[in-house]
Copies of this chain bind each other. A is one copy, B any other.
Amino acid sequence: MEQLKQKIREEGVILSQQVLSLDSVLNHQIDPQLMMEMGKEFAARYAGNHITKIVTVESSGIPIAFATAYFLNVPMVFARKKKTRVMDEDSLVERVPSFTKGFVTELVISRKMVLPTDHVLIIDDILANGEGLKALHRMIGTIGAPIVGLGVAVEKTFQKGSLAFREMGVRVESLVKINSLADGIIHMD
């Protein structure tokens, strides 16, 4: 995905050897045309897999998940990060330690939104250590819906999330692989 790679090269800000800020690309501002292209790409890679639902985690995953759901013509569900007062009682909750935020959050998903009969594609913006996506994966497993695979815009191969998923036998598709942030350079595939 050359267009995304170029945007990351131009606008990504290296904060440490582990952390790359993509605020103006994925996490705070987005380019809707590029997001639609990214969604179209995931839809193409997972075409013919009988996906019935796209699941993501709020918030940065929502635009890409939405675009993917649009092209696959299925609903999109976003797990919430805190139990709001109006959420129904029939909800699953998982704890997630977040590296970038420095604290534990709770992920919430309603059993009404993802059914055991669904075929789920999980979409998110960045796969680093993958704690949030692992929690989401556990929750969908608890519901009993088969997970067809995972699609992430950016895979940080030098952190342990993508390897962990592949070792679990989960198909992982990424649009850009970041292999290192050493020496102040974003090394990408």
**A residues within 8 Å of B by Cβ?**
13, 15, 19, 21, 23-24, 27-33, 35-36, 58-59, 62-63, 66-67, 69-70, 73-78, 80, 82, 84-88, 100-102, 109-110, 112-113
Contact = CB atoms under 8 A, between A and B. Distances in A.
Give the 7 A-B residue pairs with the shortest CB-CB distance, closest first.
A58-B59, A32-B70, A32-B69, A59-B59, A62-B62, A29-B77, A29-B113
25 contacts: A13-B88, A19-B86, A21-B88, A23-B110, A23-B113, A24-B112, A24-B113, A27-B86, A28-B77, A29-B113, A32-B67, A32-B73, A32-B74, A32-B75, A33-B73, A35-B70, A36-B70, A58-B58, A58-B59, A62-B62, A63-B63, A63-B66, A84-B101, A85-B100, A85-B101
A109 B74 CA distance: 32
A88 B23 contact: yes
Contacts of A13: 88
- Give the oligomeric copy count: 2
A82 B86 CA distance: 20
Nearest to A82: B101
Contacts of A32: 66-67, 69-70, 73-76
